[in-house]
Chains A and B, each alone.
Chain A
Amino acid sequence: MTLGVIMLVHTALQRAEQVARHWATHGVPVVIHADSTVSRARFEAFRNQLSDLDNIRFSKRHRCEWGTWGLVAASQSASEVMLKEFPGVRHVYLASGSCLPLRPVSELIEYLAARPATDFIESATLADVPWTVGGLDDERFTLRFPFAWKKHRRLFDGYVELQRRLKLQREMPDGLVPHMGSQWWCLTRQTLSAILQDPRRRVYDRFFKQVWIPDESYFQTLVRLYSRRIESRSLTLSKFDFQGKPHIFYDDHLQLLRRSDCFVARKIWPYADRLYNAFLNAPGDNLKRTEPNPGKIDRIFAKAVERRTQGRRGLYMQSRFPNQDWEKGFTGAEYSVFEGFSELFEDFEPWLARVTGTRVHGHLFAQERAEFEGGVDVLNGALTDCAALRDRNQRSFLTNLLWNTRGERQCFQMGPADTFRDIEWDIAKDPNAQVSVITGAWAVRLFRSNQDFAMIRQQAADLQRREAKHLDVLRSQYAKARIRIWTMAEFVENPMEPLQEIISEIGPTDYRRLTEAPKMVNLTGFAQFLQNLKNQGMHPYLTGDFPNTLEDLEKPRKPRKPYLIK
């Protein structure tokens, strides 16, 4: 009889009874503290159920509200009973009614017997742990907390604020150094009795009564005064989520819990029949197990917290809808937008797909339909090319496209003839976007079209106006995309250098020099076409200063660098 268990019980009494019986029948004395909110009738029934076991005791009942002194008082009373009634107990294990022993009791006894003077209690100095939830760390000790957080939230917050304003502070008694950690400990008789019989205990108790969540700091702090050997970890597997409440174990965690080799786990869902059956009734296997190894469980719960706080970037759904601009960039993956390229080059899209190995769409925001790669009408995720559906919510359209094709870089074309008014700001502000623009390239399509010149002039004026507005957006101080802008004249002069730059930014796949260039459309007569527009009073200034004749085109000119807006 070297081990004794203290159980703090408040709900699910049946399960608590089952576990208490398990400890007791394996020769471990149990002292049970039942919350004073448990009705007298229920408590009596509970006590009667366990009356056949002579190594179970009940301690004075306290009101245990979360975050208040009651939990410490309960542990104290129960500890006193344990130390007094069972003199053979060397280690006292603090557990709750929803704790479940995972390994045979004999193994725990053996483990503790091999470490007779060791106190297992997680105890870390406040300054060094980031655990605290809710913004109160030092202030847990320096302020007073007479109001329960769960019931009197306003009073609680108001009183904290008041003390901050008035700069009211308390000193730790006797220069104690505040320590914190899991409330589930396993202490030696020597240490525990030293804490409980300390002549200064009244002073400490008075101080900790007004500390916030004292059950995570009372024993953790005082143990530092007396313990000869502290193992700063809890023998109870207990994981907390981002709100500071314990994760719960269910039937489907059976294998995980088995493999964790932990002695006790908390908190078990009371209806998890399979877990209770497996761990309380199963005969111990003969595996030689040593140290607890909760690594895998740790990872699963750490992931759950990450999912809750970070989520999957680029995903918009019913339970993840980040406010606009509250997240850096609105997409989850990098993508490239090309403006003017498929006008200037005859085979730009297939060429780009070949060189970069990405998915290259046409004008996704074309007026008639979304021009998906290969001209298909439905894409991944059953996203359709229907313009009305797309324009109903262009943001959703683009984020859906990028989410549905995640893992694969997307490239698409844009131009002033498209309907992108709802999306252009989003793209410009998105650090995931790479936007490359050849201004004035729309003129090429007009140049090659077979229309009345009056009509062409009208369209050119229209497109130029739209593109100018669009460029204002791209050049705005809020733009965070990687944006490159060339006039068409600049680009035509030396197309390979900028293409190389864009391509090498897209992927590490092709660090080699470009060996194959896309085929530029035949621009013979284009200069004259621009001149005709000018003669009609419509100056296509966005195309840049185009040389008037072909000879000029051949003439070497000093190349200008493209500018990059970051």
Chain B
Amino acid sequence: MGAMQAYGLRLERKRWRYRAMRKSRELSGISVRTGHIRENDLLVFSTMRNELKRLPYFLRYYRDLGVDHFLIVDNDSTDGTADYLAQQPDVSIWRTTHSYKRSRFGMDWLNYLLMKFGDSHWCLTVDPDEFLIYPFCDTRPLRALTDWLDASSIRSFGAMLLDMYPKGNVGNSVYQAGQDPLDIAMWFDSGNYMIERNSKYGNLWIQGGPRARCFFADEPAHAPALNKIPLVKWDNRYAYTSSTHALLPRGLNLVYDEWGGEKASGILLHTKFLDTFADKAHEEMERRQHYAGSREYRAYADKNAGLPDLWCNWSEKYINWRQLEILGLMSKGNWA
């Protein structure tokens, strides 16, 4: 990388940070308990809208992993999401009614919160339908992982998005608040992911899975990106560039080995495909607040009037992280 390009990226990083600062004016704190955050606490950052039903399980899942505090931006929810969150002792929430899209899909808001509260903490940035799986997650808490990463001088941890879906039409089973969404969406695609390297940011660009297979077969270039780097030992100088797919400085994106070895990595189980999906799709179709002109949701809506069935003969049923490791979707790396 030449000096010019390096300088360009530096400017870009500063621009995102400046933008985050500017966009922070759109946030108003509702219940801010960040005073409770202690040194070395594990933090979760998230933007959400109308996710009341998913919240009980979401909070429980990450509390069980050992997360100490949640910092959440509520984007104009109307279902009581904010009220529910305000009652939680380990949650700080900010509210905004501004455009999700013009905040670069919430990333400006989160960049700001990360900048302000994330410094020198391990920060996990996830959506409420994403559940982090990492090697040994059934026996070791998240802190075991972050301690190991610290000891290994690793600053960022990759976790690919793995789309989970039910067998049969997506709406067949009704999701209840507090229920494990994997009880319903327990299937996934194990081996149809396409990988490229992004030469500018140095991250991998991964596409594929059931969404590419069912909704984007005619325009695969637009299929959603699945590469994510959600867990970062944050530093004030960092910034996410587009969603959590890539960061600057670009060294943070090097969560893969280029010499044939395997680095440790995890999976974000993406439980978007529940019965709630239909309402989301319709709402987002009208709001047009999602990536690439809500193309993704439009593709779902176009598919057929009813809800899609993503299941196929070779769908794999989720068991545990070891299964994902054996299938080659994630790796223990040299953590043993």
Chain A residues within CB distance 8 Å of chain B? 241-243, 245, 247-248, 250-252, 269, 271, 300-301, 303-305, 307-313, 315-323, 326-327, 376, 378-384, 386, 388-389, 392-393, 396-397, 400, 403-404
What does the 1/0 interface line of B192-212 toward A look like (CB < 8 Å)? 111111000000101110101
The answer, yes or no, to whether B7 is at the interface (CB within 8 Å) is no
Task: For residue B91, give the distance in angstroms from its CB to the closest CB of chain A.
Answer: 24
Task: For residue A391, give the distance in angstroms from its CB to the closest CB of chain B.
Answer: 8
A404 to B315, alpha carbons, bound, how many Å?
Answer: 12
Knowing A303-B336, A389-B212, the reply to whether A403 touches B263 (Cβ < 8 A) is: no
Task: For residue A139, give the distance in angstroms from its CB to the closest CB of chain B.
Answer: 23
Contacts beyond the supplied A269-B144, A317-B331: 9 A-B pairs with Cβ under 8 Å:
A250-B140, A305-B334, A308-B263, A322-B257, A327-B260, A378-B314, A382-B191, A382-B192, A404-B190
Pairwise interchain contact B139-A320, C-beta atoms closer than 8 A: no
A-B contacts counted at CB < 8 A amount to: 177
Pairwise interchain contact A386-B217, C-beta atoms closer than 8 A: yes
Knowing A312-B328, A319-B255, A381-B314, the reply to whether A393 touches B195 (Cβ < 8 A) is: yes
Pairwise interchain contact B257-A311, C-beta atoms closer than 8 A: yes
By Cβ-Cβ distance, the 8 closest A-B pairs, closest first, are: A381-B191, A308-B334, A319-B265, A304-B336, A393-B194, A382-B189, A404-B191, A392-B220
What does the 1/0 interface line of B274-317 toward A look like (CB < 8 Å)? 00000000000000000000000000000000000000111110
* Complex interface: chain B residues within 8 A of A316 (CB): 195
A296 to B139, alpha carbons, bound, how many Å?
Answer: 20
Pairwise interchain contact A252-B213, C-beta atoms closer than 8 A: no
Knowing A305-B334, A403-B328, the reply to whether A319 touches B264 (Cβ < 8 A) is: yes
Q: Which of B29-37, B101-109, B145-153, B233-241 contacts A (4 or more CB under 8 A)?
A: B145-153
Task: For residue B89, give the distance in angstroms from its CB to the closest CB of chain A.
Answer: 22
Pairwise interchain contact B192-A321, C-beta atoms closer than 8 A: no
Task: For residue B143, give the distance in angstroms from its CB to the closest CB of chain A.
Answer: 7
Nearest opposing residue in chain B for A406, CB measure: B328
Pairwise interchain contact B139-A326, C-beta atoms closer than 8 A: no
* Complex interface: chain B residues within 8 A of A309 (CB): 259-261
The answer, yes or no, to whether B61 is at the interface (CB within 8 Å) is no
The answer, yes or no, to whether B136 is at the interface (CB within 8 Å) is yes
Pairwise interchain contact B190-A381, C-beta atoms closer than 8 A: yes
Pairwise interchain contact A382-B195, C-beta atoms closer than 8 A: no
Pairwise interchain contact A322-B140, C-beta atoms closer than 8 A: no
* Complex interface: chain A residues within 8 A of B331 (CB): 307, 311, 317, 319-320
* Complex interface: chain A residues within 8 A of B159 (CB): 318
CB neighbors of A among B246-268 (8 A): 255-265
A307: which of B213, B314, B316, B334 is its contact (CB, 8 Å)?
B334
Of the A-B pairs whose beta carbons lie under 8 Å apart in the complex, a sample of 11, sorted by A's number, is: A241-B334, A243-B152, A310-B261, A317-B328, A317-B330, A318-B330, A320-B262, A379-B314, A380-B314, A384-B192, A392-B207
The answer, yes or no, to whether B335 is at the interface (CB within 8 Å) is yes
The answer, yes or no, to whether B160 is at the interface (CB within 8 Å) is yes
A303 to B335, alpha carbons, bound, how many Å?
Answer: 10
B261: which of A307, A317, A378 is its contact (CB, 8 Å)?
A307
The answer, yes or no, to whether B221 is at the interface (CB within 8 Å) is yes
Nearest opposing residue in chain B for A318, CB measure: B160
Pairwise interchain contact A320-B220, C-beta atoms closer than 8 A: no
Pairwise interchain contact B193-A396, C-beta atoms closer than 8 A: yes
A303 to B334, alpha carbons, bound, how many Å?
Answer: 8
Pairwise interchain contact B190-A247, C-beta atoms closer than 8 A: no
Scoring B260, B315, B331, B333 by chain A CB atoms within 10 A of each residue's CB, the highest score goes to B260
Scoring A318, A378, A384 by chain B CB atoms within 10 A of each residue's CB, the highest score goes to A318
A333 to B245, alpha carbons, bound, how many Å?
Answer: 31
A315 to B208, alpha carbons, bound, how many Å?
Answer: 16
Task: For residue A148, give the distance in angstroms from its CB to the closest CB of chain B.
Answer: 15
